[in-house]
Amino acid sequence: MGKPYDMGMNKKEQEPKWVEKLRSSMKAKDLNPRSLSLKAGLNPTAVRDMLEGRVKFPRYDTVESLAGALDLTPAQLMSNGPAPTSQKTNSAALPLDNEDLNLLTEIITRLQETAEEYRHALDPKDFAAMVTTIYRQMKPNETQPKKSARASLTPKIKSLMDYERLRKQVGQK
């Protein structure tokens, strides 16, 4: 059986680039749909559903889980750019303290600035999800001091905004 996106579709409706990247990333890691789903902490059939065209554009938390399981960033997995390369982040759990509150404040401020720079209005739910996602990625651990975690804040926010822009573009088609 061929690729499900090929069945009954005209030439304009081809498999999305993110599905192609998902396939190639799975092949590079020698993962099948079920094993990737489980490694990412998803429903055992989640990846299969994506590959078969049942999911047009997954939620960010799903993409984040898949990208993490494939050692990628969500933007690398979902973009139309060149093939992704490994770039996994570590997110160890720490209790919330004053430094963490300062980090959250900085994330919120920079996300607002970046959204304005991109001229992209975010609804409150998307904004909260983005702040939470970035905070989880930025939380320092024993091997990464808090100040060095902040150094990579802007690229992470831009990556997330790029993802959000892509998601909106695909939703409009």
State the Cα–Cα distance between residues 66 and 62, nearest whole angstrom: 6
> Could you tell me the pLDDT band of residue 52, with boundaries at 50, 70 and 90?
very high
Mean pLDDT along residues 83-108:
60
For the chain, the domain total comes to: 2
Q: At what angle do helices 60-69 and 153-172 cross, to 10 degrees?
A: 120
Same structural domain, 61 and 125: no
State the Cα–Cα distance between residues 112 and 126, nearest whole angstrom: 12
Q: Is the pLDDT of residue 87 over 50?
A: no
Can you tell me whether residue 118 is helix, strand or coil?
A: coil
Specify the range with the lowest mean pLDDT, choosing from 9-13, 23-27, 31-35, 117-121. Answer: 9-13
Mean pLDDT along residues 9-24:
74
Q: Is residue 93 part of a domain?
A: no
Q: What is the pLDDT of residue 29?
A: 92
Q: Is residue 9 part of a domain?
A: yes
Nearest-CA neighbor of 131 among 103, 163, 99?
103
> Could you tell me the pLDDT band of residue 86, with boundaries at 50, 70 and 90?
very low
Q: Is residue 113 part of a domain?
A: yes
Question: What is the C-alpha R_g of the chain?
Answer: 17
Domain membership of residue 131 as a residue range = 98-172
Note the helical H segments in the chain: 17-28, 33-39, 46-51, 60-69, 74-78, 98-117, 124-138, 146-151, 153-172
Q: Is residue 163 part of a domain?
A: yes
Mean pLDDT along residues 44-51:
93
> What is the CATH classification number for the domain harbouring 29?
1.10.260.40
Same structural domain, 125 and 65: no
Same structural domain, 103 and 168: yes
Mean pLDDT along residues 156-171:
76
Is the model more confident about 169 or about 83? 169
State the Cα–Cα distance between residues 42 and 122, nearest whole angstrom: 26
